[in-house]
Amino acid sequence: MILDRQTAIGAFVFGGFILALGAVILFGNFRLFNPTVRAAVIFQGSVSGLSVGAPVTFRGVRVGAVEGILLQFDPQTQAAYIPVTLQLEPERVRVVGDDSAARKTLELPALVTRGLRAQLIAQSFVTGQSQIDLDFDPSSSPVLHPNITGLPEIPTRLSTVQRVQEELSQLPLAELVGNAKGALQSMHELSERLAHDLPTLIASLQTTSERSTRAVDIAADAITDLHGRLDDTLTHVTQLVATGDQQMSQRGADLHALLTSFNQTVQQAHDMLNDLKSLTSSRGESRANLDSTLRDLAAAAAALRGFSNDVERNPQLLLTGRRP
């Protein structure tokens, strides 16, 4: 009876031990069959929100967890460091080819050489928890701390928020504030000057505008009056030209009749002189004078005929005369 009780107690203790071991294996970080790789990330800034068990991801895919967080102080450099130990799970990564040469590319030194960097990012803005994200960034120069940890180290890079904070910290805020105050003071002085001078300027502009309006009205009236006078002048000039043309036409007809009559008279005189010529001797002095007179009369008659033809074609020659 006593032996059966001891056997039951032993079986109960052994069963409890098996259950505890199973809980550790299932729910703890202890991995019996899947080996893990331990690495370290050294932060010098704040790791607020990061806790043990926080996920470690690669571009959002979980590849491990945070195993431990410490705080170390270096008396030589007077700097504080926060080494964070990571527990990475290589079995979560599948290598194309799955041979030994391909698996060597997953070793941390090779990955760090290719640009593997760790970055602290916010896991949830509501709870304020943070996590560590891994990614390749060859442009970021690696900064290692061999004196802080003996584990393989993954260099860090600044997060977007940390970059913004660093850039803001480098801004000359005092100078910017001083410039802003100076600009505000200048704007205040300008507004006061405008408030003082603007009413006078507006009144001057109104006066100038009124004077310009009056000048434009006067000029418009003068132009209208001048336009009317020009119309009257053009009407009178048109009437004068018409009257002149009518008078020239009438005088041209009269002059033509006069020249025709004169031409007939000259012809008669010529005929008479011809008759006289036949009566006189060809060797006498009277005959020579008579020949000269006939020639002059013939030239005069030709000139009168030409002038008569010109006046008939252009009656205005009686006023303007022939031009040389």
Shared-domain flag, residues 162 and 265: no
Sign of CA dihedral 293, 299, 303, 306: positive
| pLDDT band with cut points at 50, 70 and 90 for residue 134 | very high
- Number of domains into which the chain is organized: 2
pTM of structure: 0.44
Q: Closest by alpha carbon to 88, among 122, 39, 51?
A: 39
* CA distances to 274, 285, 291, 292, 302 from 296, in Å: 13, 17, 9, 6, 10
Sign of CA dihedral 278, 282, 286, 288: positive
Q: At residue 133, does pLDDT exceed 90?
A: yes
Residue 56 lies in a domain: yes
CA distance 52 to 87: 11
CA distance 51 to 49: 6
Shared-domain flag, residues 36 and 167: yes
Residue 4 lies in a domain: no
Shared-domain flag, residues 114 and 161: yes
* CA distances to 70, 89, 120, 141 from 55, in Å: 17, 11, 11, 25
Shared-domain flag, residues 216 and 144: no
Question: What is the structure's pLDDT at 30?
Answer: 47
Residue 24 lies in a domain: no
Shared-domain flag, residues 213 and 292: yes
The count of other CB atoms within 10 Å of the CB of residue 118 is 21
Do 40 and 154 form a contact (C-beta atoms < 8 A)? yes
Report pLDDT digits (tens) over 212-239: 888 888 888 888 888 888 888 888 878 8
Residue 241 lies in a domain: yes
Question: What is the structure's pLDDT at 210?
Answer: 86
Domain coverage including residue 38: 29-171
Do 262 and 254 form a contact (C-beta atoms < 8 A)? no
Contacts of residue 251, Cβ cutoff 8 Å, sequence gap at least 6: 315, 318
Give Cα 230 distance to the centre of its chain. 54
At 11, the amino acid letter reads A
* Packing angle, helices 285-313 and 173-279, rounded to 10: 140
CA distance 86 to 183: 52
**Rounded mean pLDDT, 190-213:** 84
| pLDDT band with cut points at 50, 70 and 90 for residue 290 | low
**Rounded mean pLDDT, 37-47:** 90
User: In which residue are the tokens 């020659």 written?
Assistant: 317
Shared-domain flag, residues 133 and 214: no
Shared-domain flag, residues 226 and 136: no
Helix boundaries (H) for 114-172: 160-170
